[in-house]
Amino acid sequence: MSDSLSFADIYKHDRDILEVCPHDEIEISADNMDELQSMINANPGAMLLMINRCHEYSYSFGALQHIRALKNIKALALLFSNLSESYIAQVIRGNKDRSDYPIETFLDKEDAIKWLSSHR
C-alpha cells in the first residue's frame, strides 16, 4: 500500500511499518515533519518508522529537531545507501532527551524491516 505527502512517498509494510521515501533534490522542513506527524497520528496505535534515503535530499535544522520529537513512534530505522550518509543519524541521535524510542541505521532494507518488526 502506498500514499504520498507533499515531500515524500509513503509505503506501508504490514500493519504498522511506514517507509518514508522523500522526493529527490528537496530540503525537508519542520512543516514537512508536521505533515508526517499528522499521517502517523491518523493510524491506529504506535507506528514503526523507516526513513529511506532513496534520493538525494537534505534536512533543515528544524526538520532534524522534529524527527527525534515525533510522537506515536515505537522505533525509527534510518536506511542509507552507504555509510558516508550516516552522519544524519548522529545529528538525530544528538537529541536523545526528546523521545524514548530507539533509532538504528541500516544499509539493507530487509534488515531494517526485521529490526523494526522486533519492536512490535
pLDDT of residue 89: 72
pLDDT, tens digit (0-9, with 9 covering 90-100), for 48-61: 999 999 888 999 98
pTM: 0.89
Query: In the chain, what are the helix, strand and coil shares in percent, each to the nearest 5?
Result: 35, 30, 35
Grid cell listed for 97: 532527551
pLDDT, tens digit (0-9, with 9 covering 90-100), for 23-77: 999 999 999 999 999 999 999 899 999 999 988 899 998 998 888 889 999 999 9
Rounded Cα distance, 20 and 104, in Å = 15
| CATH code, residues 2-117 | 3.30.750.24
Q: What is the mean pLDDT of the chain?
A: 89
Provide the 3-class DSSP secondary structure of residue 115.
helix
pLDDT of residue 30: 96
The pair phi, psi for residue 78, each rounded to 5°, is -110, 115
Give bridge partners of residue 75 from the DSSP assignment: 48
Lookup result for grid cell 541505521:
105
Q: In this predicted model, which residue has the larger pLDDT, 98 or 104?
A: 104
Q: Where do the structural domains in the chain lie, given as residue ranges?
A: 2-117
**Is the pLDDT at 97 greater than 60, yes or no?**
no
Burial 27-59 (b: 16+ CB within 10 A, else e): ebbbebbeebbebbeeeeebbbbbbbbbeebeb
Q: In this predicted model, which residue has the larger pLDDT, 92 or 45?
A: 45
Give the amino acid at 28.
I
pLDDT of residue 19: 97
Rounded Cα distance, 45 and 115, in Å = 18
